[in-house]
Structure 1
Amino acid sequence: MVVASEARGTFDFVVAANRLPVDRVTEADGTSRWQASPGGLVTAMDAVMQGQSAAWVGWAGDPGEDVAPFDRDGIRLHPIVLTADEVRGYYEGFSNETLWPLYHDVIVPPRYRRSWWASYQRVNTRFAEAIAKVAAPGATVWIHDYQLQLVPALLRALRSDLRIGWFNHIPFPPVELFGQLPWRRAVLRGLLGADFLGFQRSNDAANFTRACHQLLGTSSSGDTITWSGAEDGLIGAEPRRTRTATVPISIDFRSMDELARTPEVRRRAREIRASLGNPQTVLLGIDRLDYTKGIRHRLRAISELFGDGAIAAPEVTLLQIATPSRERVSAYQDLRSQVDGQVGRINGDHSGIGATAVHYLHHSYPKEEMAALFQAADVLLVTPLRDGMNLVAKEYVASRWDGGGALVLSEFTGAAQELSQAFLCNPHDIAGLKETILAAMREEPASARKRMLAMRRRVRSHDVHAWARHYLSALEAAPQKPNRR
């Protein structure tokens, strides 16, 4: 049965994100098809969007390609066209060389270019216009992440009847850092166009509220920010009220748990350990190759543990997987060279014939292989310098249906606020990180199992579906009712 609004080419629920939830796959014969993208967001949104009149607005992934809207699994996908220059300016430039480092504690210096800001504005305007066209009267719109921070106010100016929410998947920085941004007020005004703003951590929501107070002169009561907006033509002179709250994202626990229990994954886990020489302890790191992930700090700690004689190959080995990321951005090119060098030095100093200290793999893996890797690992090392959440930590917990394994987790991740039974660490403290890794390796089995089972209960009860329900309930309860058309 076709919903009335859908028959008119509009939809009651619209998701907007930088990318569509599909990737184009080219077959051996040259034909192409669309397949679902990996990741928790796609899983969560699929569950929410199924069975209702829904559309997803996002970039298809290829510069300059004008793809007509199409349906997949009952959801209308509405592609946004980005030119090669816009990919460089809006995405690689402003999103990933300006905002990403700024929002991650300036681990590397942000770069501020007016041409990138202009591109960011153009693309955000294009997203807002596309959403306005596909949203039915009174529709609910859920906008995702730092690439689209101007869209809420731009969309509000076009469609005051909509219920608009935005969720930040990464940290929001303290005002002392955010204040560096030359276009700081414009970004805050853009976000205040939403009815509800969701953040991963309580500190992120507090940082945003404080930035609004100091830079825009807003007031607040509880979790609601009030701003007159009189100076801003985008959202008019009427006072706006925007609610902020902490809504930490999660994973599809049931799916990951069931996958990890399959005979194929369990067999593959045994094969992985055997291929590593069946060491007593397998340490595992799985990260995007990103300077925020603390890979260099982790490798330094591992190198010192080998050097101190606290661990030795072949009894202990580290399997480090670094998924390629943003390879055209110079900071990431430098990081890859540094990590390659560190791994080479560790193996040169501490490996022997048939006894490799660090196995380093620079490519991505499907979810089945990830589940097997989690099963094979005795200790997972998750040591970001700053991370909005870190779903790898939760995936590891969901995969350990046997109650085994140990999680070393940076206190600077959103996951640390939920997985308090992990072995928490400060990755900047190399001596402390070494001690934490050894503690995780040496924990008594009964105590380690108790930790893991407690974390599994948490992830099971707060899965990605609960996250989506919580967010949408908060959006519906946001204080300011839209002006229905």
Structure 2
Amino acid sequence: MSGTYQFVVVANRLPVDAAEDGGWTRSPGGLVTAVHPIVRRLGGAWVGWTGGADEEAEPFDFDGMHLHPVGLSARDIDRFYEGQSNATIWPLFHDAVEQPVHHREWREAYEAVNRRFADATAALAAEGATVWVHDYQLMLVPAMLREHRPDLRIGFFLHIPFPPVELFMQLPRRADLLRGLLGADLVGFQRPLAAQNFLQLTERLLGLSPKEDRVEVDGRTVTARAFPISIDVDEIEELANDPEVREQARHLRQELGDRRLLLGVDRLDYTKGIEQRLKAFHELLRDGTVTNEEAVLVQVATPSRLRVAQYQQLRDRVELEVGRINGEFGDVGRAPVHYLFQSRDRAELVAMYLAADVMVVSPLRDGMNLVAKEYVAARVDDGGALVLSEFTGAAAELDESFLVNPHDVEDLKRGMCAALAASPQDLAGRMRTMRAVVHEHTVDRWAKEFLDALADVS
């Protein structure tokens, strides 16, 4: 039995957050920014989790969208979300920078929750509707949906990296995940190499015969292709030109004194390279390359997955290192590292971007990294410098940044020093080039290109 919605988005989270007055507010973030206008224009639906445990929220309408909550119990959150999604799949897909953990009950919970999402979507989608499934938490959904609703046009987009064959092969029940993705007509990735990894696996694991960017399965053609995600450039630039935001930036510079400001903005995640960044800055201070009078590092670490043991341990290590640096090189009222374990709203972040002499974006592995693009978009003055990890998807587009290998602390130090030493003319030229890239490749263009491709391949 089919529903009434011609366009359905399926994501782990709904595009809303609970408000203090008991209602809902639109969530921040690139995916919601890009897709919300499309869902609203088409009168579509969005299937996702509210973010709370044991909540039985009824479907509701919000800002031109029909939102269908999928409830998760505390047990589901523990096993499906914090377990299989974030302690098994997440680390393995990020080059296993932390050891993935495998538990049979986590895999069973992952399958059960994916089934719940698929069933809800099948009931909402109209005959011949377009369904767009998102990210690593829901990789079984396309095949489950295809099984019950072969009439649907199904797209899937993976926001994180897709691992090489050798790493993917470590997963228990690896073929099930691959078959899950093959339920889609179009599987989108951040980078071309990820699409190639996926197609190679269809041959290695399932004996299929991929050709170029396509593979035949069960009489259907599945296309795998790269669609690099981006940001809402207009929103960032509007904030960067806001007098209040610019005053915040000026005040921040004044508070930190006459020092060069290096900035890091990340979720507190072991893939983000925060420990390596702190180590590099520590060594620059120890070697006398920079002093506490010359430079300051501000590190914003947004709380993330606080119940997962690996994240708790990371927080302890980061805070210990910050204390060590400040104890060794700080002075009364003048610390070399300012560490903020808290979330900041978009306007505050843009003020920080405007204030920073050097933005250090050094993940060990990242599918794209939108902070790097936000920093470039915010620099309407063509100022600032971007130190960027080679192992981000953004590195392929922002190649006028100071590219570094974050696994190599010496190379990370080299990149930071080069950014600090570059002339204003050099930095302005680099920034203008990168700003042209982010202006051309916006989040709206990303969504349009994916959905146009889905219509073509279907």
State the TM bucket, normalised to the shorter chain. over 0.9
- Quote the residue 2:138 is aligned against: 148
CA distance in structure 1 between the aligned counterparts of 2:227 and 2:353, rounded to whole angstroms: 26
- Quote the residue 1:273 is aligned against: 253
Which aligned pairs between 1:83-232 and structure 2 lie closer than 5 A? 83-227=73-217
The letter of the residue matching 1:140 is T
- Quote the residue 1:19 is aligned against: 13
SS of the residue 2:23 aligns to: strand
CA distance in structure 1 between the aligned counterparts of 2:252 and 2:395, rounded to whole angstroms: 28
Please point out which of 230, 238, 261 is paired with 1:258. 238
The letter of the residue matching 1:468 is A
Which aligned pairs between 1:6-45 and structure 2 lie closer than 5 A? 10-26=4-20, 31-45=21-35
- Quote the residue 2:339 is aligned against: 360
CA distance in structure 1 between the aligned counterparts of 2:253 and 2:374, rounded to whole angstroms: 19
Deviation, 1:9, is: 5.7
| Partners of 1:47 and 1:465 within 8 A in 2 | no
- Quote the residue 1:4 is aligned against: none
SS of the residue 1:251 aligns to: coil
Please point out which of 53, 68, 81 is paired with 1:78. 68
Please point out which of 447, 451, 471 is paired with 2:430. 451
Please point out which of 306, 313, 327 is paired with 2:285. 306
| Partners of 1:165 and 1:194 within 8 A in 2 | yes
Instruction: Indicate the RMSD between aligned Cα atoms, in angstroms.
Output: 1.1
Deviating more after overlay: 147-156 vs 349-358: 349-358
| Partners of 2:358 and 2:419 within 8 A in 1 | yes
- Quote the residue 2:229 is aligned against: 249
The superposition leaves residues 10-64 of structure 1 with CA deviations (integer Å, 9 ceiling, x where unpaired) of 21100000000001122xxxx4121111100000011222321210000011111
Q: TM-score, normalised by structure 2?
A: 0.99
Deviation, 1:314, is: 2.4
CA distance in structure 2 between the aligned counterparts of 1:50 and 1:458, rounded to whole angstroms: 28
- Quote the residue 2:270 is aligned against: 291
The letter of the residue matching 1:250 is S
- Quote the residue 2:378 is aligned against: 399
Unpaired runs of 5+ residues, structure 1, are 1-7, 228-237
Deviation, 1:123, is: 0.4
| Partners of 1:305 and 1:311 within 8 A in 2 | yes
State, as a whole percentage, how many aligned pairs show the same letter.
Answer: 54
Deviation, 1:253, is: 0.4
| Partners of 1:97 and 1:111 within 8 A in 2 | yes
Deviation, 1:403, is: 0.2
The letter of the residue matching 1:13 is F
SS of the residue 1:166 aligns to: strand
- Quote the residue 1:330 is aligned against: 309
| Partners of 2:233 and 2:377 within 8 A in 1 | yes
SS of the residue 1:51 aligns to: helix
SS of the residue 2:19 aligns to: strand
CA distance in structure 1 between the aligned counterparts of 2:90 and 2:220, rounded to whole angstroms: 28
Q: TM-score, normalised by structure 1?
A: 0.93
SS of the residue 1:309 aligns to: coil
Unpaired runs of 5+ residues, structure 2, are none
CA distance in structure 2 between the aligned counterparts of 1:212 and 1:172, rounded to whole angstroms: 13
| Partners of 1:314 and 1:354 within 8 A in 2 | no
| Partners of 1:55 and 1:76 within 8 A in 2 | yes
| Partners of 2:3 and 2:122 within 8 A in 1 | no
Deviation, 1:221, is: 1.4
